[in-house]
Amino acid sequence: SKKLLADVDCGVDDAQAIMLALAAPNVELLGITCVHGNTTVENVCKNTLRVLQACNKLEIPVFKGAAKPILGKRIDAGHFHGQDGLGDAPDPNAPALDLIQKEDAVSAMIRIVNENPGEISLVATAPLTNLALAVMIDPSLPSKLRGLYIMGGNTESRGNTTVCGEFNFAADAEAAYIVLNDYQCPIYLICWEFTCYSKLSWEFCDAWLAQDTDKARFMARIFRHSIEASQSERLQKEFVAGTGFVSCDSYAMAAAVDDSFIVESDQYPVSVELTGTHTRGMMVVDTVDLLKKTHKAFIVKKVDMEMFKQMMMAALK
């Protein structure tokens, strides 16, 4: 079976990604590390436990990581995911936070990868602070990964957070820079524009949520806020090319779950802008090889959408 480790800022699409992984056959999710992002790291921990509870998988260890980016102030995405990060639909029976492991997320990441050299697919669907800290403490970490799957960055300088910055990269530009430069392992990038071009139709979402299961009812509750937010003028502008829902993080998870999910990708050296008047946090794609970097990342261009819909459906079964 495939061994996965997920680093999340458990908002609505992170929750969808986690549920997709939990439903996938032959996949073992060894742990979930939490980081600031869509909301505070405390909320992220709570949200992750709620998702695991909804799937009867509370035995999966959850670790608390960085509360803020390497430089500057923490930002969040409450306008989309709700202030609590999970649609502001609180659950009176939510699991208690004492279920969070005592070990911190960065130590856990380093330990789990070292215990399974060459076997772990690390899926990062959040600001990359934990991953950056981990490689600074253990520079050998990337060489022990099977692969790194990142939802983040952009390829057409379309931002969803700053003018040119995608949320996960803009929320910790230094961490994104460190990760793209120091993780010399296969890196698969699911970038913002790609997810926008690969929306799930609202018809699909209706059928998805209409499944008669507790998981579907849980998803319908936490999802409502983002569905409504998707209709806002700002998000209509953000969501380039047509209507539908963009479950960004689920694509990165699906790619880690099944190698045949990625149908087409380009290989380029990539980096992140750290200064600039409007461009801090923007991903830089070196198509002409001017950076003279030996390491190239896979920028995902096309995925198997039928497989994706099946995986999403199974997530709520």
Q: Classify residue 37 as left (phi > 0), alpha (psi -120 to 50) or beta.
A: left
Torsions phi, psi for 210 (to 5 deg): -80, -5
Tell me if 132 sits within 8 A of 178, measured CB to CB. yes
Nearer to Ca ion, 126 or 135 (CB): 126
**C-beta separation of 6 from 34 below 8 A:** no
Contact between 132 and 7 (Cβ < 8 Å): no
Residue 153 in contact with residue 192, Cβ under 8 Å? Answer: yes
According to DSSP, the residues that pair with 285 across neighbouring strands are 270
Q: Is 115 helix (H, G, I), strand (E, B) or coil?
A: helix
Alpha helices in 149-213 (DSSP H): 167-170, 173-182, 192-197, 202-209
Q: Which residue is nearest to ligand BDR (CB)?
A: 167
Q: By rule CB under 6 A, what string of x and - marks binding of each residue 63-102 to ligand BDR?
A: --------------x-------------------------
Q: Residue 286 has which token pair?
A: 């070196």
Which lies closer to ligand BDR via its Cβ, residue 17 or residue 110? 17
Known catalytic membership, residue 98: no
CB of 174 to ligand BDR, least distance (A): 17
Does the footprint of ligand BDR cover residue 248 (CB under 6 A)?
yes
Site for ligand BDR in 187-226 (CB under 6 A): 192
User: For ligand BDR, how many residues bind (rule: CB under 6 A)?
Assistant: 15
Binding of residue 174 to ligand BDR (CB under 6 A)? no
Using an 8 Å Cβ cutoff, are 221 and 82 in contact?
Answer: no
The residue (of 40 and 125) whose beta carbon lies closer to Ca ion is: 125
Q: Is 168 in the site for ligand BDR (CB under 6 A)?
A: yes
Between 107 and 162, CB nearer to ligand BDR: 162
Tell which one of 34, 151, 216, 297 touches ligand BDR (CB under 6 A).
Answer: 151
| One-letter identity of residue 1 | S
For residues 119 to 138, the per-residue mask of contacts with ligand BDR, x marking binding by CB under 6 A and - elsewhere, is ------xx------------
Active site residues: 9
Instruction: Summarize as ranges the residues that interact with ligand BDR (CB under 6 A).
Output: 11, 13-14, 38, 77, 125-126, 151, 160, 166-168, 192, 248-249
